[in-house]
Amino acid sequence: MADTDRRLTHLDPHGQARMVDVAGKPVTEREAVATCEVRMSPTTAGLLLAGDLPKGDALPVARIAGIQGAKRTHELIPLCHQLALTGVEVRIDVDTDKGVATVTATARATDRTGVEMEAMTAASVAALTLYDLVKAVQRDVVIDRLRLTQKRGGRSGEVSLP
């Protein structure tokens, strides 16, 4: 990597934080996928999957919360650009034997900058919502392994991450 590629893009020449100007970047289709795990007891996972929690059916609420989180990423993460999202999907797979709910969030936009932060915000807000809705039956739930797993579009093309 050349030294010019190592400059800090979110700092101005005086070392002050700034939002990167993306006006010169081409508009391309972009997509990012993030995952997160919510660990709980198998009994709690069974209640979650059945929609039998004291606070009601948590899965649709968590999906909507994740979508809403993606839409508000620019308000939550300093220096993030506001994007015109073209789609956000949040899937939650519950493994009752292991006591794990895996949240997978996909964000899409046709824009000048990536949607990684939107996908990761969607996954984390959905996981936080699950935590909130299951804590009535279990307090020691753990949110774990938030990570970007895939991105497509822009300068780097398609990237799959472990």
Residues known to be catalytic: 132
The bridge status of strand 85-95 relative to strand 100-111 is antiparallel
Residue 113 is encoded by which pair of tokens? 């900058």
The answer to whether residues 130 and 101 touch, using CB atoms and an 8 Å cutoff, is yes
First-residue to last-residue Cα distance in the chain? 22
What b-and-e string marks burial along 103-114, b requiring 16 or more CB atoms within 10 Å of the CB? bbbbbbbebbbb
DSSP 139: S
Q: Which phi and psi (to 5°) does residue 53 adopt?
A: -75, 155
